[in-house]
């Protein structure tokens, strides 16, 4: 249920402002409530998504700025792993309390070596700074305060998601339903209540998509698109997925516009040359920024990376099966609750229906059609290409996590909105979103 863009009228006054931002306000309040509820139910156990090495990075940020390849994990993270552990329980040396000595990192997982060195310090610096503010007002320790910064990432992501929905003229009730459903996912539970590089994914994906769509329609924000693309890539290299999606859409836009001239329904601005060059510069600059960081990482290395036991070899079957990793993304991590698997399954059915349905039903060569193509291509092709790229660059591959699709979630939700045809469907999605976020608030989705 997407409408053709029309000229907006200006609104003024508090009542109009509240009306305009009502959906975003509700989503931010619900998202904060769900995250805070889940944070309050956490213990000190690390999540299974490498949280202990991320915690180590946050601890070291103010003194080191970044962690080196081959660097040993510091004593605070070793103590936490030895005393509280992760999904598999305490590991490493015997726990001797907070004042104990933990100086045998080889007894810990990954031989006590960090695996977070692949990341630039951008996310960890933001997390450390945010944690200082949280600690100042709450009295929480660094681990819990750093986890709490996920609430801010979720709030920013939801606001930007609403802005993207507006660009595609998604009705308010449908915006609300899709936003609430996203809040209730197990993936959101892990992204926004633990220390994880997935935390900026929703905000990053929505920001790049909003800027790309605005640029396609108006020719403005090209510089912001390039800068944002570089920043999100430095947050996490997997966020290049959304930059590539936007680049495909805009390059197709430019080619069609060049062929059709002024008759193209996307409007006269910007010119095809600008429309093509800006996204390519954004994609190239992002890749260059990541390459510079990886070069610096290699130069500053103090040893080899740990063997995580994930490496394997490329196969044709593996490449073909990877095409379904993002399209049929599995929620959470090895859901221990069959209820969680059941109640989140409709969300992924909506995503599959949306991506394929938008691709198959969008007609002509208008701007919506081009974005439907880009969304479908990236969702299906990105994971196989990532495997091939790893094989060529590293001569080995590692599993592609479905969690990487969180950065694509804004456009996947737009695809869902595009195939919703009637008010009954809107209300069903809204009720589902309310139920799912409610279950997440109670701690039932994880």
Stretch 118-125: mean pLDDT:
96
Judged against a pLDDT cut of 90, whether residue 18 lies above it is answered with no
Number of H helices, E strands in the chain: 16, 0
Judged against a pLDDT cut of 60, whether residue 423 lies above it is answered with yes
What pLDDT band is residue 365 in, cutting at 50, 70 and 90?
A: low
Residue 212 resides in a domain? yes
The pLDDT tens digits of the residues spanning 289-302 come to 999 999 999 999 99
Residue among 45, 51, 56, 50 nearest 89 (CA): 45
Round to whole Å and give the CA distance between 197 and 339.
27
What pLDDT band is residue 376 in, cutting at 50, 70 and 90?
A: very high
Residue 63 resides in a domain? no
**Listed range (50-59, 141-150, 268-277, 416-425) with the worst mean pLDDT:** 268-277
Stretch 331-349: mean pLDDT:
68
Judged against a pLDDT cut of 60, whether residue 340 lies above it is answered with yes
Judged against a pLDDT cut of 60, whether residue 333 lies above it is answered with no
- Rg of the Cα atoms in the chain: 22
Residue 277 resides in a domain? yes
Stretch 231-242: mean pLDDT:
95
Which pTM was predicted? 0.91
Stretch 418-443: mean pLDDT:
94
For residue 142, the enclosing domain spans 119-304+312-441
DSSP of 19-45: HHHHHHHHHHHHHHHHHHHHHHH--SP
Written as six digits, the tokens of 431 are 């009720």
Round to whole Å and give the CA distance between 437 and 129.
29
Assign 50 to helix, strand or coil.
coil
The pLDDT tens digits of the residues spanning 60-73 come to 999 999 999 999 99
Looking at residue 261, what is its pLDDT? Answer: 65
Which residue's structure tokens are 């698997």?
Answer: 341
DSSP-assigned beta bridge partners for residue 312: 397
Residue among 190, 194, 203 nearest 153 (CA): 203
Looking at residue 263, what is its pLDDT? Answer: 47
Looking at residue 404, what is its pLDDT? Answer: 87
Calculate the average pLDDT of the chain: 88
Looking at residue 16, what is its pLDDT? Answer: 76
Nearest 5°: the CA angle 193, 196, 200 is 90
Determine what percent of the chain is predicted with pLDDT higher than 90.
Answer: 63
Written as six digits, the tokens of 181 are 């459903």
Residue 294 resides in a domain? yes
Looking at residue 3, what is its pLDDT? Answer: 56
DSSP of 86-134: BTTB--SSPP--TTS----GGGSGGGGB-SGGGS-SHHHHHHHHHHHHH
Stretch 109-132: mean pLDDT:
95
Residue 427 resides in a domain? yes
Residue 93 resides in a domain? no
What pLDDT band is residue 337 in, cutting at 50, 70 and 90?
A: low
What pLDDT band is residue 338 in, cutting at 50, 70 and 90?
A: low
Which residue's structure tokens are 């290409």?
Answer: 385
What pLDDT band is residue 224 in, cutting at 50, 70 and 90?
A: very high
What pLDDT band is residue 13 in, cutting at 50, 70 and 90?
A: low
Q: How many domains does the chain have?
A: 1
Judged against a pLDDT cut of 60, whether residue 8 lies above it is answered with no
Q: What share of the chain is helix, strand, coil (3-state, %, to 5)?
A: 70, 0, 30
What pLDDT band is residue 256 in, cutting at 50, 70 and 90?
A: confident
Round to whole Å and give the CA distance between 285 and 30.
36
Residue 31 resides in a domain? no
Assign 397 to helix, strand or coil.
strand
Nearby residues of 69 by Cβ (< 8 Å), 6 or more positions away: 117, 297, 298, 300, 301, 302, 303, 304, 305
Stretch 9-33: mean pLDDT:
81
Judged against a pLDDT cut of 80, whether residue 331 lies above it is answered with no
Winning range, highest mean pLDDT, from 95-99, 100-104, 112-116? 112-116
Q: Give the sign of the dihedral formed by CA 272, CA 261, CA 245, CA 183.
A: positive
Residue 366 CB burial class (10 angstroms; 0-12, 13-18, ≥19): middle
Looking at residue 270, what is its pLDDT? Answer: 79
Judged against a pLDDT cut of 80, whether residue 7 lies above it is answered with no
Looking at residue 124, what is its pLDDT? Answer: 97
Looking at residue 175, what is its pLDDT? Answer: 96
Residue 287 resides in a domain? yes
Q: Are 78 and 141 within 8 A, CB to CB?
A: no
Judged against a pLDDT cut of 50, whether residue 277 lies above it is answered with yes
Looking at residue 284, what is its pLDDT? Answer: 96
What pLDDT band is residue 399 in, cutting at 50, 70 and 90?
A: confident
Looking at residue 325, what is its pLDDT? Answer: 85
């Amino acid at each position: 249920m997407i409408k053709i863009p029309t000229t907006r009228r200006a609104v003024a006054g508090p009542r109009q402002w509240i009306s305009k931002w009502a959906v975003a306000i509700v989503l931010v309040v619900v998202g904060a409530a769900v995250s805070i509820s889940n944070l309050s139910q956490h213990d000190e156990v690390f999540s299974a998504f490498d949280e202990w090495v991320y915690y180590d990075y946050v601890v070291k940020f103010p003194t080191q700025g970044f962690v080196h390849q081959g660097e040993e994990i510091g004593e605070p993270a070793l103590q936490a792993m030895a005393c509280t552990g992760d999904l598999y329980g305490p590991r490493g040396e015997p726990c001797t309390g907070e004042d104990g000595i933990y100086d045998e990192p080889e007894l810990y997982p990954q031989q006590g070596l960090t695996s977070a060195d692949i990341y630039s310090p951008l996310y960890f610096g933001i997390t450390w700074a945010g944690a200082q503010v949280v600690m100042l007002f709450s009295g929480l320790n660094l681990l819990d305060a750093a986890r709490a910064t996920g609430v801010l990432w979720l709030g920013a992501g939801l606001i930007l998601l609403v802005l993207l929905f507006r660009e595609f003229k998604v009705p308010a009730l449908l915006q609300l339903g899709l936003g609430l459903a996203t809040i209730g996912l197990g993936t959101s539970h892990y992204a926004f209540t633990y220390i994880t590089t997935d935390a900026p994914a929703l905000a990053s994906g929505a920001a790049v998509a909003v800027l790309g769509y605005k640029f396609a329609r108006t020719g403005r924000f090209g510089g912001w698109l390039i800068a944002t693309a570089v920043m999100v890539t430095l947050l996490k290299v997997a966020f290049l997925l959304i930059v590539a999606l936007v680049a495909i859409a805009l390059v197709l836009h430019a080619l069609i516009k060049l062929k059709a001239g002024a008759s193209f329904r996307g409007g006269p601005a910007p010119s095809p040359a600008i429309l093509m060059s800006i996204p390519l510069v954004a994609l190239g600059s992002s890749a260059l920024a990541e390459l510079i960081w990886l070069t610096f990482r290699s130069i500053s290395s103090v040893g080899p990376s740990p063997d995580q036991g994930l490496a394997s070899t490329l196969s044709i079957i593996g490449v073909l099966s990877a095409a379904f990793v993002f399209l049929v993304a599995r929620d959470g991590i090895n859901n221990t609750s069959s209820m969680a698997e059941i109640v989140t399954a409709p969300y992924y059915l909506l995503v599959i229906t949306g991506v394929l349905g938008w691709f198959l039903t969008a007609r002509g060569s208008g701007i919506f059609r081009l974005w439907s193509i880009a969304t479908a291509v990236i969702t299906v092709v990105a994971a196989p290409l990532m495997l091939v790229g790893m094989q060529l660059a590293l001569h080995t591959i590692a599993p592609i996590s479905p969690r990487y699709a969180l950065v694509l979630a804004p456009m996947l939700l737009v695809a869902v909105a595009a195939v919703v045809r009637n008010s009954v469907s809107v209300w069903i999605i809204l009720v589902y979103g309310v139920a799912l976020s409610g279950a997440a608030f109670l701690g039932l989705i994880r």
